[in-house]
Amino acid sequence: MKLRKRTTVLIAAAFASMMLMSGCGQAKIGYIDGDRVTKEAPQISSLVDEGNQKIQEAQQQAEQDLQQKLKENPDMSQEDAQKLQQESQRKLQALNQSYALQLRQKLDVALGAVAKKQKLDAVVNNSQEQPIAISGAVDVTDDVIAQLQ
């Protein structure tokens, strides 16, 4: 579930990176439902599922490793145990960042292609909780999902 939350944040960041300011004329803005893209785009949902599974496996392995080291050295100091936990956390964060980067790259490519095809100046994440595009924007959610097939 952590990766899903980060996915939503990354989707918002990807849209922000896609924004182009137009100096003259009217800007053409597109929007997507980021939650729907996360759930319905096969490339994204499979990457999220894979990431969640790998993170869960890594957490379990880290716990097993810590328990094993505590059994091997029952007199381990509190400081050494904390160092082991910190190392495990660093590995988990690196794994999470790796999947988040892959996710962002896939989204950037898809958004770039859709924005270029439809000649959009900007694409924003229009969630139901906090709608950004109320009127005058083009819904490109289906196009982005199709791009991520």
Give the number of C-alpha atoms closer than 13 A to the C-alpha of residue 56, restricted to the C-beta side: 9
Does position 123 have pLDDT exceeding 50, yes or no? yes
Residue 109 — very low, low, confident or very high, per pLDDT cuts 50/70/90? very high
- Percentage, residues of the chain above pLDDT 90: 21
Residue 144 — very low, low, confident or very high, per pLDDT cuts 50/70/90? confident
State pLDDT tens for residues 27-55: 788 888 888 888 899 988 899 999 999 98
Does position 10 have pLDDT exceeding 60, yes or no? yes
Q: Which residues of 66-103 are buried (b: 16+ CB within 10 A; e: fewer)?
A: beeeeeeeeeeeeeeeeeeeeebeeebeebbeebbeeb
Report CA torsion sign: 45, 46, 47, 50. positive
pLDDT score at 23: 46
One-letter amino acid of 105: Q
Domains defined for the chain, CATH in brackets: 2-147 (3.30.910.20)
